[in-house]
């Protein structure tokens, strides 16, 4: 009979924020990003977090360059719905030209 083993895994505790916590979990086999030791899990998470920060900084820098080149614009996400559910959601890019506000929906 197979026994469960103890593994360590970082999991995000919130939606929309980076609130990762190290969890001790019992599994029959290692799942994705599950490690035998806390140290392995921490090293793996820290490497992924550094990569994520680097990618985020590149995106922010690129957006800054776009704003310098193109002027003010925004990238917005929207949800339309009521108590019966969401009936429309998506994203759009918005900017002004000669006092006209243009919105282009993204697929």
Query: What's the pLDDT score for residue 88?
Result: 85
If one counts the domains in the chain, the total is 2
Whether residue 43 is found in the same domain as residue 79:
no
Residue 54 lies in domain = 1-66
Whether residue 11 is found in the same domain as residue 55:
yes
Whether residue 38 is found in the same domain as residue 62:
yes
Whether residue 58 is found in the same domain as residue 78:
no
71's tokens = 């002027």
The answer to whether the CB of 38 falls within 8 A of the CB of 62 is no
Whether residue 24 is found in the same domain as residue 55:
yes
Whether residue 15 is found in the same domain as residue 30:
yes
Q: Report the predicted TM-score, pTM, of the whole model to 2 decimal places.
A: 0.71
For every one of its 107 residues, what pLDDT tens digit does the chain have, with 9 covering 90 and above?
Answer: 789 999 999 999 887 788 999 999 999 988 899 999 999 999 999 999 999 999 999 999 998 898 889 888 888 888 888 888 888 888 999 988 998 999 998 87
- CA 44 vs CA 17, 56, 78: distances in Å: 19, 18, 34
Query: What's the pLDDT score for residue 86?
Result: 86
Query: What's the pLDDT score for residue 78?
Result: 85
Whether residue 9 is found in the same domain as residue 52:
yes
Query: What's the pLDDT score for residue 22?
Result: 97
């Amino acid at each position: 009979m197979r026994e469960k083993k103890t593994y360590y895994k970082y999991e995000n505790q919130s939606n929309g924020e980076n609130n990762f916590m190290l969890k001790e979990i019992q599994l029959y086999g290692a799942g994705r990003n599950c490690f035998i030791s806390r140290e392995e899990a921490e090293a793996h998470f820290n490497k992924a977090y550094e990569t994520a920060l680097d990618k985020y900084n590149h995106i922010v820098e690129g957006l800054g360059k776009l704003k310098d080149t193109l002027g003010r614009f925004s990238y917005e996400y929207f949800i339309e719905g009521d108590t019966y559910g969401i009936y429309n959601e998506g994203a759009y890019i918005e900017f002004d030209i000669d006092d006209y506000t243009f919105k282009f929906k993204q697929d």
